Amino acid sequence: MEVEPEELRIITPENFEGDLNEILQKHQKWLQDKIQKLNEIKKISEGLILYNYENLRELVNSYVEEIGKILKTKPNKVLFRKMKIRWGSCHHPKKILIFNKSLRYLPKELIKYVVLHEMCHLLVKNHKELFWLLVQKIDPNFKEKEKLLAGYRLKLNFA
């Protein structure tokens, strides 16, 4: 099941013969939680201000340097691309960080958080507990920033 701002999609195999209503009933609590979170993100997105930093590369590179000193690591390469879903990504073995060009529309504190998130992936590959403990050690307010990022994603419509 996929829950989006204006629709719910149930994806089934081609020869599916089950009852869709039964599936909806079985996952009702999950659906309610998803819809509640989506409504919360919608509300957050309505109040967000879009920025437009022309110096995104310099800003990101300065945060990479700053956070690199804290984490005692640095990437081999930093790239920028237009990305459909993610704010950034880390290609762990090659230590390459890629940032979404749409970061320019976010406030500096969120740009810095995205850099922190990706820099932490240089040390911890996945999103398991150890990763989030590392992120939290440097930014105790990371959960709030994750919600704001979801709001900006919705506002910029690249989900």
What does the pLDDT read at residue 5? 76
In-domain check, residue 136: yes
In-domain check, residue 25: yes
Structural domains of the chain, count: 2
Q: Is the pLDDT of residue 138 over 80?
A: yes
Instruction: Determine how many CB atoms are found less than 10 A away from the CB of residue 117.
Output: 24
The domain that holds 123 is classified in CATH as 3.30.2010.10
In-domain check, residue 51: no
The answer on 62 and 97 residing in a single domain is yes
The answer on 137 and 81 residing in a single domain is yes
The answer on 69 and 30 residing in a single domain is no
Q: Is the pLDDT of residue 77 over 70?
A: yes
Supply the Cα-derived Rg of the chain in whole angstroms. 18
Residue-averaged pLDDT of the chain: 94
In-domain check, residue 106: yes
The answer on 95 and 68 residing in a single domain is yes
The answer on 38 and 71 residing in a single domain is no
Range of the domain at 36: 2-46
Contact 120, 131 (CB under 8 A): yes
In-domain check, residue 95: yes
Decide the pairing of beta strands 77-81 and 96-100.
parallel
Q: Identify the three-state secondary structure at position 28.
A: helix
Average pLDDT over residues 15-42: 91
What does the pLDDT read at residue 92? 85
The answer on 31 and 71 residing in a single domain is no
Average pLDDT over residues 39-65: 96
pLDDT-derived band at 126, boundaries 50, 70, 90? very high
Instruction: Determine how many CB atoms are found less than 10 A away from the CB of residue 99.
Output: 25
What does the pLDDT read at residue 158? 63
The answer on 118 and 66 residing in a single domain is yes
The answer on 145 and 90 residing in a single domain is yes
